[in-house]
Amino acid sequence: MTFKIAASPHTHQRRTTRQIMRLVYLALIPGVILQSVFFGWGVWFQLILALATAWLAEGLCMRLRGRPMWSAWRDHTAMVTAVLLAISIPALAPWWIIVIGTAFAVIVVKHVYGGVGQNLFNPAMAGYVVLLVSFPVQMTSWPAPTMLTEHSISVVDTINLIVSGYTSAGYNLEQLRTGIDGLTMATPLDSLRTDLGSQMTLAEATDKPIFTDFAGVGWQWINLAYLLGGLVLIKLRVISWHIPAGVLLGLGLPALLGAAFAPDQQIGPVLHLFSGATMLGAFFIATDPVTAATSNRGRLWFGLLIGALVYIIRTWGGYPDGVAFAVLLGNMMVPVIDKYTRPVVYGHRGHP
């Protein structure tokens, strides 16, 4: 037998950053495919634009910093940021939306703070919030799921719409958002927020084609796909279960209590968990190792905080989803969480 000596930390997984990012890519594939099925070719064009922008921005920043560009391109961290941002914005958003958001995420949030491992905030969510605050109309104009829209959009029309704002037939995005009932479509969470705020009951608010008995048309399957991808990452030990479990529990438990005490006015846990960016946020965004808590206990509290903030923002805040704001607020609290959840040093009693 040979005795192997390894330098600390004594990790059981010796994957490189590049290998981890590749596994994240693979885990995202089911969700991205379903997202393109329900929202069209625009998903793929947003991905192409985001990846091209991230590649150029990463190379430029490394050149200005006097660092080798290939080392940055090879670790794929900027590319994963680009993918997460691209699948978080509306599929038919104007081309400059994703370019601005990705450039901000890579240049400002990542490189201004020192590059890989130095950023304080999740780059993709910081870019998303900048876009949402700056361009709220474009960032909230989600198209109707393909099976609920009156107009089919070809690949050529998708490119024309993203580049110029109009299809070859002269339709703009607002016209294409008209559903089969003749009304402008909104996301399930946005529709519920508007209707419940108008004193409608939950049963009345969900009596629309965009809702099913489960959650929202399209969104439920997209969330299930990201849930599947996230479970694969946990199985492969790319991420730990603590943050996703905390997020889902922090969101699901208040939703369960709210539905129990006000069933006509509060959204239930199933609809909360399988609508919007819940599963994407829980498994792929909140688990960013750079901006999350470090200890297992801290990760659990970090996830619980994010989940609770998502519920608060969705219920009483100014935006229908709130995952991005919750993640950034959680990032701000990481130093405090790490301080009070620091593991006890071996051989000592009590907390340090």
Compute mean pLDDT per 10 residues along the chain, 352 residues long, and list them.
52 74 94 94 96 95 86 86 96 95 96 87 96 93 80 85 84 69 68 86 85 84 96 95 97 95 90 94 95 94 97 90 95 95 68 48
Number of H helices, E strands in the chain: 17, 0
Please report whether residue 46 resides in a domain.
Answer: yes
Please report whether residue 207 resides in a domain.
Answer: no
Q: The dihedral of CA 113, 114, 116, 118: what is its sign?
A: negative
Please report whether residue 161 resides in a domain.
Answer: yes
**Distance of alpha carbon 145 from alpha carbon 38, whole angstroms:** 5
Quote the pLDDT of residue 165. Answer: 85
Degrees (nearest 5) of the Cα angle 279, 55, 39? Answer: 40
Cis-peptide into 68, omega within 30 deg = no
User: Running DSSP on this structure, what letter comes out for residue 180?
Assistant: T
Please report whether residue 280 resides in a domain.
Answer: no
Quote the pLDDT of residue 263. Answer: 86
Please report whether residue 329 resides in a domain.
Answer: no
Please report whether residue 202 resides in a domain.
Answer: no
- What's this model's pTM, rounded to 2 decimal places? 0.90
Contact 141, 90 (CB under 8 A): yes
End-to-end CA distance of the chain: 40
Please report whether residue 236 resides in a domain.
Answer: no
Contact 210, 149 (CB under 8 A): no
- Can you spell out the DSSP letters for 191-213? HHHHHHHTT--HHHHT-STTB-S
**Domain around 78:** 16-145+150-184
Please report whether residue 132 resides in a domain.
Answer: yes
Q: Which two tokens stand for residue 185?
A: 């479509």
Q: How many residues are recorded in the chain?
A: 352
For 339, the 3-state DSSP assignment is helix
- In the block, which residue shows the tokens 């539905």? 259
Q: Which two tokens stand for residue 299?
A: 């990760």
pLDDT tens, residue by residue, 267-289:
999 999 999 999 999 999 999 99
Q: Which two tokens stand for residue 252?
A: 């699901």
Number of domains comprising the chain:
1
- In the block, which residue shows the tokens 């900027």? 78
Q: Is 68 left (phi over 0), alpha (psi -120 to 50) or beta?
A: beta
